[in-house]
Structure 1
C-alpha cells in the first residue's frame, strides 16, 4: 500500500510523524494479548477489508499493546481494554471510548470524530488566513489596574526571562496575595434562573455568593440556597473562560454572556460567535480539557 494511504501503524512515533505530514488525526487503539475482547475485535474489525476502505486517507490508526507501552497507556489514562483514544497532531485528546465495538459501529464512530475534527480544523485555518485570530483582543480590557488592549505576549503560564531565581512562595503567601473577589460573574445575571429556566434575570448584590473568588448574584434567597448547595451545577465551566481559546492558544480569557451555550446542562462562555460555532461542531474536543484553573490564571475580564 502506498505510504500516503496507509491506515494502520504499530509505532507511535512513526505514526505521529506521518499524521503531522498528512495533517490527519490519530486513532489510538489500546489492547493486550491476554485480553479476549481485544482479540475478538482483531478478527471482527481489524482483519476486515472494509475498515481500510472506509478510513484510509482520513485518519491514522495506531494499534498499541498496552503492556509494551505503559507510558503511553498512562499518559492517556487508559485503564480498561480495548480502548480507543482519538488525538490531534499535538497529542491532545479529541475523543475517548472503551469496550468492544462492531465493525460498522467502529467505522461510524471514527468517521464522526474525523468529520468534526476536519470541520473545526478548517474553521481555524480560515480564520487564521483571514487574520481573524481566535482571540478577539479588540474588545478585551484589563480590569485590574490600567485598561487597554490585551498584549498578545501574555500567557497563562509565564516563564521568567531574567537570571534571578524565582522567590519561593508558600500556599499561604499565594492565598494572601489573591483578592477576595476577582470580578462579578455572568455580568450579574442569576446563575440559578439561567440554568433552571434558561432565563436571563439580573441578580442582586444583597443575594450574592462568593465561589472560586468570583461573585455570583442571585435573584433571591431561594436561588442563593440552591447555588450554595451545588455551585458546580450553576457556575460556568473553566471559570467562565472560553474553552476554544484554551484549546487553540492555551490562554485563559473569560467569555461573554453574549456568547453563552449549554452543553450537557453545563454552561460555557465564549468570546465570539465564531468560537461558539466551533464548539458546536466539535464539543467533545473542548469539554475534555484537562486545565486546572485558579482565579489568578484568568487574564482579563470583559468590559461590556
Structure 2
C-alpha cells in the first residue's frame, strides 16, 4: 500500500508544472500561453533558505497546481559542489540572467516578469507567507496582467 501511495503521489506531482531550464524556451512558452515567468535564483546545494523555499513553497501541491495554469517557471541555479555542476550553456545563461535580474547576487531571489522581460514583482529571500498565501499572491498578480 505504501508503494502504491508513493507511486500515485509521484505521478500526481509530475503532472504539474516543472522548471524550464531554457530561458529562451520559457519566454516563447510564456508568450504563446500569455503567462508570466517566475524566475528563481537559488544555490541548490549550499543556500539553506533556497532549499527551504523549494521544499516549503515550490514543491507544495497547491502552489504547483496554481503554477501549472498560470506561470512558466525558471530556476537560475548556482550550485557550488562539483557533483552538481551544470552544463556550460546553462551556467552562461544563469550568469546572464543574474546580471540582468539579480545584479546584487541575492539568494533566494524570485522575480515575476513578463515574456518581454519587464519586472512585475520581486521577492528578496523567502516570502513572509506560507505556500498557499504565496500562491494566492502570485495568482492575483498574474490575473491582473
Which residue of the partner structure matches residue 91 of structure 1? 117
CA distance in 2, matches of 1:66, 1:94: 23
Which residue of the partner structure matches residue 38 of structure 1? 50
Greater helix share, structure number: 2
1:158-213 deviation digits (Å, cap 9, x = unpaired): xxxxxxxxxxxxxxxxxxxxxxxxxxxxxxxxxxxxxxxxxxxxxxxxxxxxxxxx
**TM-score, with normalisation over the residues of structure 1?**
0.35
CA distance in 2, matches of 1:14, 1:25: 13
How is 1:41-190 mapped onto 2 (pairs within 5 angstroms)?
41-66=53-78, 68=91, 69-78=94-103, 79-101=105-127, 102-117=130-145
Which residue of the partner structure matches residue 12 of structure 1? 23
Larger radius of gyration: 1
The size of the alignment, in residue pairs, is 114
Q: Give the 3 Å change call, closer, same or farther, for CA 43–9 of structure 1 in structure 2.
A: same
CA distance in 2, matches of 1:22, 1:95: 20
Matched position secondary structure for 2:97: helix
Matched position secondary structure for 2:69: coil
Q: Give the 3 Å change call, closer, same or farther, for CA 31–61 of structure 1 in structure 2.
A: same
Which residue of the partner structure matches residue 29 of structure 1? 40
What RMSD over aligned residues (CA atoms) do the two structures have, in Å? 2.0
CA distance in 1, matches of 2:42, 2:18: 17
Q: Give the 3 Å change call, closer, same or farther, for CA 91–56 of structure 1 in structure 2.
A: same
Greater relative contact order structure (CA < 8 Å, 6+ sep): 2
CA distance in 2, matches of 1:37, 1:105: 18
Give the superposition deviation at 1:7.
5.1
Whether the 8 Å contact between 1:54 and 1:107 is mirrored in structure 2 is yes
Matched position secondary structure for 2:70: coil
Which residue of the partner structure matches residue 3 of structure 2? none
